[in-house]
């Protein structure tokens, strides 16, 4: 590419255009922040309901472990809702990141606005025909690995503890089946269903981790010195 073409592309945006793009970035950042807040809301619902189930299960010697079983289904619903919200959060976050990297980045380095790689045309096409950039399964896997795996782990630990040691340690395998039984459903079937339930989440977390977006991307090494922290300290 000739020098004149590069200079022409560098001057593609005037002052009014740059101001408009700055406001566009503020709008995209606001949208991503709103959807990030919605992610926190569903996670809080899952934590709250799990806490209530734990309180009910261990409230008395005769309390049933059934609340922990039911809250697992409720937390699953929250996980599905949050995965959908995460797809929209990722959608807005990606646009904001593109503007940070390719619009503000060259300006911060004193090079002015650069458009040689065509980021502005790609961003325009995304506005013209928007589409989500992460699959629903991958979104479920991400939220599962980051948040919900810990919630499910707490539920499993509490459930096993309830069966084995509360109110007194289990004396026999038959007693374990009796404690795990839910009405006419045998305890063996309940435990087998629970095992399949959580094994499914483990499989989803592993499968989506291997096929996740950016799996083959080279990560920058962590610098020995935190230069930004040193700069902030003055």
Which structure tokens are listed for 10? 């560098």
| pLDDT the model gives residue 61 | 87
pLDDT at residue 217 is higher than 80: no
Q: Is residue 227 part of a domain?
A: no
Q: 3-class DSSP state for residue 193?
A: helix
| pLDDT the model gives residue 187 | 95
Q: Characterize 100-119 residue by residue with b for buried, 16 or more Cβ atoms within 10 angstroms of its Cβ, and e for exposed.
A: eebbeebeeeeeebbbeeee
| pLDDT the model gives residue 210 | 78
| pLDDT the model gives residue 11 | 53
Question: Residue for token digits 């472990």?
Answer: 65
Q: 103-111: long-range contacts at Cβ-Cβ below 8 A with a sequence spacing of 24 or more?
A: 103/21, 103/25, 104/25, 111/10
Strand partners, 182: 185
Q: Is residue 221 part of a domain?
A: no
As for how many domains the chain has, the answer is 1
Q: Which structural domain range is residue 47 located in?
A: 3-214
| pLDDT band for position 223 (cuts 50, 70, 90) | confident
Separation CA 5–CA 128 (nearest Å): 26
> What does pLDDT average to over the chain?
91
| pLDDT band for position 6 (cuts 50, 70, 90) | very low
Please choose, from the candidates 41, 57, 75, the residue with its C-alpha nearest in 3D space to the C-alpha of residue 201: 75
pLDDT at residue 143 is higher than 70: yes
Which structure tokens are listed for 36? 């990030």
Q: Is residue 36 part of a domain?
A: yes
Residues 46-89 have pLDDT tens digits of 999 999 999 999 999 889 999 999 999 999 999 999 999 999 99
Question: Residue for token digits 């569903």?
Answer: 42
Q: Is residue 201 part of a domain?
A: yes
- Tell me the CB-side half-sphere exposure of residue 171, using CA atoms within 13 A: 2
* Cα-based distances in Å from 143 to 14, 66, 139: 42, 25, 6
Specify the pTM. Answer: 0.87
Q: Is residue 180 part of a domain?
A: yes
| pLDDT the model gives residue 214 | 66
Separation CA 33–CA 13 (nearest Å): 27
Residues 91-107 have pLDDT tens digits of 999 999 999 999 999 99
Q: Is residue 222 part of a domain?
A: no
What's the residue count for the chain?
234
Report percent pLDDT > 70 for the chain.
93
The answer to whether residues 176 and 163 touch, using CB atoms and an 8 Å cutoff, is yes
pLDDT at residue 120 is higher than 90: yes
Concatenated DSSP letters of 205-222: HHHHHHT-TTTTPPPPPP
* Cα-based distances in Å from 75 to 24, 38, 140, 194, 204: 36, 16, 12, 14, 16
Q: Is residue 112 part of a domain?
A: yes
Q: Is residue 225 part of a domain?
A: no
Which structure tokens are listed for 158? 């509490």
Question: Residue for token digits 């049933």?
Answer: 64
Chain centre to alpha carbon of residue 6? 40
């Amino acid at each position: 590419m000739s020098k004149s073409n590069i200079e022409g592309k560098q001057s593609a945006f005037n002052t009014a255009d740059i101001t408009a793009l700055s406001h566009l970035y503020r709008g995209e950042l606001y949208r991503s922040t709103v959807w990030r807040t919605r992610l926190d809301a569903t996670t809080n619902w899952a934590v709250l309901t799990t806490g209530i189930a734990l309180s009910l299960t261990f409230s008395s010697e005769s309390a049933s472990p059934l609340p922990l079983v039911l809250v697992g289904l409720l937390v699953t619903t929250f996980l599905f809702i949050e995965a959908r919200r995460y797809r929209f959060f990722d959608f807005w976050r990606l646009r904001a990141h593109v503007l940070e990297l390719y619009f503000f980045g060259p300006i911060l380095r004193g090079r002015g606005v650069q458009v040689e790689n065509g980021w502005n045309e790609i961003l325009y096409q995304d506005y013209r025909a928007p589409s989500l950039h992460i699959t629903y399964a991958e979104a479920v896997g991400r939220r599962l690995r980051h948040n919900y795996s810990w919630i499910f782990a707490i539920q499993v630990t509490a459930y096993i503890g309830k069966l084995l040691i509360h109110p007194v340690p289990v004396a026999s395998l038959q007693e374990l089946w009796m404690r795990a039984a839910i009405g006419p459903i045998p305890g063996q079937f309940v435990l087998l269903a629970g095992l399949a339930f959580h094994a499914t989440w483990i499989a989803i977390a592993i499968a989506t981790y291997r096929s996740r977006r950016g799996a083959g991307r080279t990560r920058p090494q962590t610098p020995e010195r935190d230069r930004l922290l040193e700069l902030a300290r003055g």
